[in-house]
Chain A
Amino acid sequence: MKITQGTFSFLPDLTDEQIRAQIDYCLRNGWALNVEFTDDPHPRNTYWEMWGLPMFDLKDAAGVMLEVNACRKAYPNHYVKVNAYDSTKGRETVAISFIVNRPKKEPGFGLVRQEAPGRTIRYTIHSYATDKPEGDRY
Chain B
Amino acid sequence: MNEKPTDTLDRAQTPASREDTPIDLEAAFRDANVQEVLDKLDRELVGLKPVKARIREVAALLLVDRVRKGFDLTAGTPSLHMSFTGNPGTGKTTVAVRMAEILHRLGYVRKGHLVAVTRDDLVGQYIGHTAPKTKEVLKRAMGGVLFIDEAYYLYRAENERDYGQESIEILLQVMENQRDDLVVILAGYRDRMEKFFQSNPGMASRIAHHIDFPDYSLDELIEIGGLMLARDQYRFSPDAVAVFRDYLVRRMNLPHFANARSVRNALDRCRMRQAVRLFDGVRSNMTVKDLVTVTPADILASRVFKDGTLDMDKPPPRGA
Contact = CB atoms under 8 A, between A and B. Distances in A.
Interface of A: 52-53, 55, 57-64, 66-67
A55 B136 contact: yes
A67 B140 CA distance: 12
Contacts of A62: 110, 139, 142-143, 178, 180-182
Interface in B70-114: 110-111, 113
22 contacts: A52-B132, A53-B132, A57-B140, A58-B139, A59-B113, A59-B140, A59-B142, A59-B144, A60-B110, A60-B142, A60-B144, A61-B143, A62-B142, A62-B181, A63-B138, A63-B139, A63-B140, A63-B142, A63-B143, A66-B135, A66-B139, A66-B178
B157 to A, nearest CB: 31
Contacts of B138: 63
Interface in B109-163: 110-111, 113, 132, 135-136, 138-140, 142-144
A116 B98 CA distance: 73
B50 to A, nearest CB: 30
Lowest 3 A-B CB distances belong to which pairs? A60-B143, A63-B139, A62-B142
A60 B136 contact: no
Contact of A55 (B139, B143, B181, B182): B139
B111, B144, B180 interface centre (most CB from chain A within 10 Å): B111
Nearest to A57: B140
A52 to B, nearest CB: 7
Q: What size tier do the contact residues of chain B reach? A: 10 to 19
Contacts of A67: 139
A55 B137 CA distance: 10
Contacts of B140: 57-59, 63
Contacts of A58: 139-140, 142
A52 B132 CA distance: 8
A114 to B, nearest CB: 45
Contacts of B113: 59
A58 B137 CA distance: 9
Contact of B181 (A52, A53, A57, A60): A60
A17 B80 CA distance: 25
B132 to A, nearest CB: 7
A21 to B, nearest CB: 12
Contacts of A53: 132, 136
Nearest to A70: B135
A63 B110 CA distance: 12
A2 B179 CA distance: 36
Given A62-B110, A62-B139, 7 more contacts: A58-B139, A58-B142, A59-B143, A59-B144, A60-B110, A63-B140, A67-B139
Contacts of B136: 53, 55
A66 B143 CA distance: 12
Nearest to A67: B139
A35 to B, nearest CB: 12
B194 to A, nearest CB: 31
A28 to B, nearest CB: 10
Contacts of A55: 136, 139
Interface in B176-195: 178, 180-182
A64 B142 CA distance: 10
A67 to B, nearest CB: 8
A64 B110 CA distance: 15
A119 B110 CA distance: 65
Contact of B111 (A52, A57, A59, A66): A59
Contacts of B144: 59-60
A66 B135 CA distance: 10
Contacts of A59: 111, 113, 140, 142-144
Nearest to B112: A59
A59 B144 CA distance: 8
A61 B139 CA distance: 9
Contacts of B181: 60, 62
Nearest to A64: B139
A56 to B, nearest CB: 8
Nearest to B143: A60
A67 B132 CA distance: 11
Nearest to B182: A62
A38 B122 CA distance: 30
